[in-house]
Structure 1
Amino acid sequence: MTDAPLPRLELWCELQCPDCRTALDDVRALREQYGDALTVELRHFPLEKHKHAYAAAEAASEAFEQGRGWPYVEAVLARLEDLERGGQKVLVEVAAEVGLDADEVDTALIDGRHTLLVDADVAEGRAIGVTGTPTYVIAGQRLDGGRSQDGLRERIVAVIEAARG
């Protein structure tokens, strides 16, 4: 095995998707396996069938800007049922729970400062064939998650190891 840098792992995610909650378990395991050598980037792909997914993507963008993106994403996905009922209010509550400036998250949702970022992710996702979540892209390969995560982590590891040489 060489010391070649690891390819970046993109997780195309939707924060009202129950399967994305499961995908975070794989991401956590991969981070434990590879440590800081593996860069995992969240990419937004809110689906129209979930009415709060777009706002959740905007709020997550603000959370990453404030340096607490992954804890925020995990906390939102842990409260899917609450999000369905409470929408933006829940997004702001979760922000406070994970130590973000909740007022700033609320303001970001109102002023739409992350709209361009979310729209760009959606456009790029469509361009590379993302149709649902979770979807992973690593070393130029798209791996679709969805309801069956069986063997997905192993396939990601195989791509990482092949890229290492």
Structure 2
Amino acid sequence: MSETHTSPVVLDVWCELQCPDCHQALEDIRALRARYGDRLEIRLRHFPLEKHKHSYAAAQAAEEAAEQGKGWGYAEAVLARTADLASHGEKVLLEVARELGLDAEEIDTALIDGRHTLTVDADHAEGKAIGVTGTPTYVIGDERLDGGQGQEGLRERVEEIADRLLAQG
């Protein structure tokens, strides 16, 4: 008797941590997590936008937070403070790290030494290559859904695709 092992469906969320639309999208992401659990792997992908001057640093800080075991938690906490980040800059990134019990000094060092620059640049380049123009953008299966144009009905669309892909095994 063979046990069927189905790998999770992957949902890439192209996100920018100074983006109010990405903050609004968190509700959908939490609902998807609750509905699918480990059958849906939700990956944070970075797509910093030039119009938000702290978004690139925020993406790097999120990568360092992920190395410390709190990538999504950190991203969500930063997204909850997009206005703070816009007005107070990178110190907000370190405040959030401290609040979450992360090593803020290491995050600060990572921002200085640029150790996560390549990861952020690679995400951005891949996003551009597949047609991401704004955030949030969701990629599931071979479909790209642009949440930057409005998020009405997006979660339902992601669920339809996820259900179809999971049914295919």
Report the TM range for the smaller structure's normalisation: over 0.9
1:7 maps to: 9
Residue among 105, 111, 115 paired with 1:113: 115
User: TM-score, normalised on structure 1?
Assistant: 0.95
1:124-151 per-residue CA deviation (whole Å, 9 max, x = no partner) reads: 0000000000000001111110252111
1:36-75 → structure 2 map (5 Å cutoff): 36-75=38-77
1:90 maps to: 92
Could you tell me how far 1:3 is from its partner in structure 2?
7.3
- Structure 1 stretches of 4+ moved >4 Å: none
1:33 maps to: 35
8 Å contact kept, 1:14–1:57: yes
Aligned-partner SS, 2:49: coil
Matched, 1:16 2:18: yes
8 Å contact kept, 1:12–1:134: yes
Q: Structure 2 stretches of 5 or more lacking a match? A: none
Aligned-partner SS, 1:146: helix
Aligned-partner SS, 2:9: coil
User: TM-score, normalised on structure 2?
Assistant: 0.93
1:69-108 per-residue CA deviation (whole Å, 9 max, x = no partner) reads: 1111111111111111211111111111111100000000
Q: Which amino acid counterpart does residue 15 of structure 1 have in structure 2? A: L
Could you tell me how far 1:6 is from its partner in structure 2?
3.5
8 Å contact kept, 2:136–2:147: yes
8 Å contact kept, 2:9–2:39: no
Q: Which amino acid counterpart does residue 14 of structure 2 have in structure 1? A: W
Aligned-partner SS, 2:43: strand
Aligned-partner SS, 2:23: helix
Matched residues in 1 for 2:9 and 2:38: separation?
12
Could you tell me how far 1:4 is from its partner in structure 2?
4.1
Paired-residue identity, %: 66
8 Å contact kept, 1:11–1:137: yes
8 Å contact kept, 2:66–2:72: yes
8 Å contact kept, 1:6–1:163: no
1:19-59 per-residue CA deviation (whole Å, 9 max, x = no partner) reads: 00011111100000011221100000000000000000000
Size of the aligned set, in residue pairs, is 164
Q: Structure 1 stretches of 5 or more lacking a match? A: none
2:162 maps to: 160
Matched residues in 2 for 1:128 and 1:4: separation?
26
Q: CA RMSD in A?
A: 1.3
Q: Which amino acid counterpart does residue 148 of structure 1 have in structure 2? A: G
Aligned-partner SS, 2:148: coil
